[in-house]
């Protein structure tokens, strides 16, 4: 890792619009999904000229939720030697205090953006996409995000009831997204 490396993590309850928002902020950029191959400890990531996103978008779930359940230690190992100065991630898989602390401990600057979507709006979005997530699991994720609020950067609590366009415009103002969009590697 080089000095000055930074990571943006987008968190929110299931159905808040994390994958959609990050896709709106970065989806127009040329990119390639990197599949390290079977047995390789690297995570799958999406590479841009100015950085990378952990995981990839496909189907109903995207980002880190496309990665294996036991990916966290491998991601942290990979981050120690990765060639990227800017990383983004979204999803439940790595959204936890031990991952956030590990990122900071390695010397990365961590910026947590909270997509704060009203629960009824998030539920309607989950229903609209046809996901049948276990109600107790969803309730647990809502509690989890509530406990992680203190990790969110001041000024980066986004109102998830806004339109995707409004949210993407705001997220594109974040320094890490700006760097990735401008191709600063």
CATH number of the domain at 173, please.
Answer: 3.40.50
Domain count, the chain: 1
Pick from 17, 18, 19, 14: nearest CA to 140: 14
Q: Residue 157 has what pLDDT?
A: 96
pLDDT digits (tens, 9 = 90+) for 63-100: 888 888 889 999 999 999 999 999 999 999 999 999 99
User: pTM of the full predicted structure?
Assistant: 0.93
Q: Is residue 100 part of a domain?
A: yes
Q: Residue 2 has what pLDDT?
A: 56
User: What is the rounded CA–CA span in Å between residue 48 and residue 6?
Assistant: 15
What's the mean per-residue pLDDT of the chain?
A: 91
Q: Is residue 1 part of a domain?
A: no
pLDDT digits (tens, 9 = 90+) for 106-152: 999 999 999 999 999 999 998 888 877 888 989 999 999 999 999 99
Q: Is residue 127 part of a domain?
A: yes
Q: Is residue 35 part of a domain?
A: yes
Pick from 107, 47, 119, 59: nearest CA to 83: 47
Contact indicator for 152, 112 with CB cutoff of 8 Å: yes
Tokens 């276990």, residue located: 134
Q: Residue 65 has what pLDDT?
A: 81
Q: Residue 60 has what pLDDT?
A: 65
Domain span including residue 178: 6-182
What number of other Cβ atoms are within 10 A of residue 67's Cβ? Answer: 21
Question: Taking 80 as the threshold, does the pLDDT of residue 3 lie above it?
Answer: no
Tokens 């936890």, residue located: 96
Q: Is residue 156 part of a domain?
A: yes
């Amino acid at each position: 890792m080089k000095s000055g490396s930074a990571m943006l993590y987008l968190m929110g309850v299931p159905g808040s619009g994390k994958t959609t928002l990050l896709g709106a902020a970065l989806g127009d950029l040329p990119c390639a999904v990197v599949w390290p191959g079977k047995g390789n400890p690297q995570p799958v990531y999406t590479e841009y000229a100015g950085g990378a996103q952990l995981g990839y978008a496909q189907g109903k779930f995207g980002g880190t939720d496309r990665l294996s359940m036991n990916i966290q230690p491998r991601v942290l190992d990979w981050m120690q030697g990765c060639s990227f100065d800017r990383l983004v991630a979204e999803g439940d898989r790595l959204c936890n205090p031990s991952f956030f602390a590990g990122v900071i401990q390695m010397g990365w600057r961590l910026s947590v953006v909270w997509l704060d979507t009203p629960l009824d709006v998030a539920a309607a979005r989950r229903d609209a996409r046809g996901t049948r997530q276990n109600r107790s699991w969803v309730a647990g994720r809502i509690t989890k995000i509530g406990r992680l609020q203190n990790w969110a950067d001041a000024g980066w609590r986004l109102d998830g009831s806004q339109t995707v366009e409004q949210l993407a415009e705001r997220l594109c103002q974040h320094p890490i997204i700006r760097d990735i969009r401008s191709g600063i590697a």
